[in-house]
Each structure stands twice: as C-alpha cells, then as structure tokens.
C-alpha cells in the first residue's frame, strides 16, 4: 500500500511549521557518510517506493501529481542514468486508471507485478474522512486491490489474485520462485506466499495485527517485514473495529524477521512508534529500515541500519522531513530511496540514488 501517504499524514503539521521559515534545501546532508555521488532523479509530485530491476539498470515506482492530473498513484518505470548528462525519463506502465501500489520487477526484467483497483473502477477510490476518527491517520484497505502481472510496456499479462479483499504489497524472491504479499482474505492483514505464477497460495503469518511490506533476503531463505501487534484490550478493540470497515491505523509497528516459510518469527526492533520499510542489506547479515523513534512529535523519519538481530543501530540519513523506501542494487553498489529533501519547502517527495559507502 502507499506507505508514504500514511507517514506524510503524520508529519504534515511539522512541515507546515517548517515551511513558515526560510527554506534551506539540500540534497546531501552532513553526517550522511554512507552516500556518495547522491543524485535526485525526480522533481515534483509524490514519488515513492522506487525499486531496482534485477540487472540494476531500471527503477519502478509509484507517482501522484495533482498538478499534472495524476490524482492517485500510478506505476512508472525508467532507465537509471549512466552519466551526469543523461536524464531520467520514466514512462507509465500501469493502466492509468484506478489506484495502484507496490510495483516490483520480475527476475526476467521483462515483466512487473503491482496491485491495482482498476477492475473495480477507473476512478480513484475515496480516502477516509479522518475527522470521524479524531483526525488520526486512517489507512484504507481497499477491497478492490488485486495483484497483476504486466509487461514493461504496460500490457497486463495475468491477474494473479481474484479473492475478495485487499491483495497488495508484493515482492519477489531473488530466486525468482516465490512472491510474498499481504492479503485480508482470511479476515486479518496477513502475509502470504505464492508461486511465481500465482499458484499454491500459503498463509505464513498468524498473529492479530497488520503484517505488510515484506521482502526476501538476498539468498531467498528469510523474509523481513513490518508488523503491528495490538495487545491491550483497547488497542485490540480499535484494530478490529477499524478492520471491519476496511481501515487500519498502523502508527505503531516493529520490524520482524522469519524464515521464508514464516517459521521462527522474531521481532528485531523494539523502539516503539513507527518502524517500517525494512529491507535486507546486500550481505544478508544486516537490514535497513525507516523510523521516527528518535522524535517525540512523530517526525522526521530517517533511515537506519542494524544487525540481523536488531543490534548496533546506526543512523544513515539526516533529512528533517522524510527519508524512506531504501533498496540496494543487486550488486550492492548503489542505494535508492525517497525523500522530502530539496523540495523547495513543498510536500513533494522525490527519488534519490547514491553510491553506497561502507
């Protein structure tokens, strides 16, 4: 799902306060020692969840820009510039209708997977009225989201899910044999795997709460994801009441790791607040994630890395707004992420790519 909208909703008040002051934007902040040759690829609108192709040459991402008539997320892809004089020229690869989210490349580089609501309606689905919930950010779990396989020209090849309820947030194993995704088909937001052709669907999480945003480890033997685990009577009641309305308020999440079949699940952060967008680092022994745990007001969001067991947390990014959706290139030499940096004091989020420095 569009994680960015969730977190943007949390820190807009802070951005409004910052925007009242003179803007001093930057692309590369002091202390960001793991980035070199940092480059901004997009300029304007909401660009989020940018992920590498398996050959490291292309990015696929979701994009909204009301000024250009793109009123809810659509999927775009583009070739990563090879030199400073080459520009990033993305193209639309979703249908241009409904709302889309969470795109990912197949290993062959010729196909993509993403979730879309376009079969239900060509219009953007409505967003919840937050005033009904004390202005808390409420995330819609659109029942009309299903997973689709398409080619890189935008032609849909196959509808992979057809069950009633939310199916989205899919990524593919580096081995090219499994897809992991989030579904509400059994009444809760759980993780599932299926074969690359959509067959042999298997539920792999079973605890009450939202499980989502899962990724495989580089060797395909592990998964990492974010999860909420309501435990108090009040929290459980709120979670179930919202879920009955196809809504969720995932403001408290931790990072979890398990075997690829869901066995031996372990919570590897215990930082409270919102710890999310985790992804394995190229060595498979560490992970990178996004968090607001340092900040009482719930923002900024920065990126951090940690050992596989959650130890040795190190701060990676230093933006005063939002840094998230990190992914390393298959060779481990580059990192791509999305950020509010250098947006001229607007709420725009753009895609940045850098060489990774250990």
Domain extents in the chain: 3-356
Q: Name which of 323, 325, 303 is nearest 315 in CA terms.
A: 303
How many Cβ atoms are within 10 Å of 273's Cβ, its own excluded? 18
- Determine the Cα–Cα distance for residues 220 and 96; give it in Å rounded to an integer: 32
How many Cβ atoms are within 10 Å of 64's Cβ, its own excluded? 20
The whole-angstrom distance between residue 200's C-alpha and the CA centroid of its chain comes to 25
CA angle 207, 185, 116 (to 5 degrees): 120
Residues 226, 267 contacting (CB under 8 angstroms): no
| List of the chain residues with pLDDT < 50 | 1-23
CA distances from 297 to 11, 127, 263 (A): 8, 24, 36
Partners of 36 in the β-ladder? 355
- Structure token pair of residue 223: 């998964």
**Model confidence, pTM:** 0.93
Residues 78, 90 contacting (CB under 8 angstroms): yes
Per residue in 15-63, pLDDT (tens digit) is 333 333 334 578 999 999 999 999 999 999 999 999 999 999 999 999 9
- The pLDDT, as a whole number, for residue 138 is 86
- The pLDDT, as a whole number, for residue 244 is 95
- The pLDDT, as a whole number, for residue 74 is 98
Residues 44, 65 contacting (CB under 8 angstroms): yes
- Determine the Cα–Cα distance for residues 256 and 176; give it in Å rounded to an integer: 22
Q: In what order do the strands lie in the sheet with 222-227?
A: 211-216, 222-227, 254-259, 266-267
Domain at 3-356, CATH homologous superfamily: TolB, C-terminal domain (2.120.10.30)
How long is the chain? 358
- The pLDDT, as a whole number, for residue 250 is 76
Residues 138, 247 contacting (CB under 8 angstroms): yes
Q: In what order do the strands lie in the sheet with 70-79?
A: 46-52, 58-65, 70-79, 91-92
Partners of 76 in the β-ladder? 61, 92
SS3 label, residue 297? coil
- Structure token pair of residue 141: 């779990």
Q: Name which of 59, 61, 177, 75 is nearest 116 in CA terms.
A: 75
Q: Name which of 30, 24, 75, 89 is nearest 343 in CA terms.
A: 24
Output b/e per residue, 131-160; b: 16+ Cβ within 10 A: eeeeeebbbbbbbbbbbbbbebeeeeeeeb
Q: Name which of 196, 210, 299, 207 is nearest 253 in CA terms.
A: 210
- The pLDDT, as a whole number, for residue 342 is 97
- The pLDDT, as a whole number, for residue 24 is 57
- The pLDDT, as a whole number, for residue 10 is 41
- The pLDDT, as a whole number, for residue 13 is 31
Q: Name which of 349, 319, 351 is nearest 6 in CA terms.
A: 349
How many Cβ atoms are within 10 Å of 193's Cβ, its own excluded? 21
Q: Is the peptide bond before 336 cis (omega within 30 degrees of 0)?
A: no
CA distances from 20 to 11, 322, 342 (A): 15, 18, 16
């Amino acid at each position: 799902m569009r994680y960015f909208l969730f977190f943007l909703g949390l820190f807009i008040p802070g951005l409004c306060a910052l925007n009242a002051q003179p803007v001093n934007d930057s692309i590369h902040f002091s202390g960001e020692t793991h980035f070199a040759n940092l480059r901004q690829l997009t300029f304007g609108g909401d660009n989020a969840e940018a992920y590498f192709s398996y050959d490291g040459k292309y990015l696929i991402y979701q994009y909204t820009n009301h000024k250009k008539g793109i009123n809810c997320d659509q999927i775009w892809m583009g070739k990563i510039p090879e030199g400073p004089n080459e520009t990033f020229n993305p193209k639309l690869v979703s249908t241009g209708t409904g709302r889309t989210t969470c795109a990912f490349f197949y290993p062959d580089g010729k196909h993509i997977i993403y979730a879309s609501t376009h079969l239900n309606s060509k219009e953007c689905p409505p967003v919840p009225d937050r005033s009904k919930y004390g202005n808390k950010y409420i995330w819609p779990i659109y029942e009309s989201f299903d997973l689709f396989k398409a080619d890189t020209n935008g032609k849909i090849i196959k509808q992979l899910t057809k069950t009633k309820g939310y199916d989205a947030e899919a990524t593919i194993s580096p081995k090219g044999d499994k897809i992991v995704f989030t579904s509400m088909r059994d009444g809760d937001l759980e993780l599932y795997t299926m074969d690359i052709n959509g067959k042999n669907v298997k539920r792999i999480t079973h605890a009450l709460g939202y499980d989502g945003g899962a990724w495989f480890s580089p060797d395909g033997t592990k998964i990492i994801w974010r999860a909420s685990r309501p435990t108090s009577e009040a929290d459980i009641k709120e979670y179930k009441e919202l879920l009955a309305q196809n809504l969720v308020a995932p403001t408290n999440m931790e990072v979890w790791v398990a075997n690829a079949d869901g066995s031996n699940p372990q919570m590897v952060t215990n930082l409270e607040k919102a710890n999310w967008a985790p992804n394995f680092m190229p060595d498979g022994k560490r992970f990178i994630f996004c968090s607001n745990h340092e900040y009482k007001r719930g923002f900024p969001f920065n990126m951090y890395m940690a050992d596989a067991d959650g130890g040795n947390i190190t701060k990676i990014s230093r933006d005063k707004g939002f840094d998230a959706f990190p992914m390393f290139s298959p060779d481990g030499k580059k990192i791509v992420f999305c950020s509010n940096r250098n947006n001229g004091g607007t709420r725009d989020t753009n895609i940045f790519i850098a060489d990774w420095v250990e």
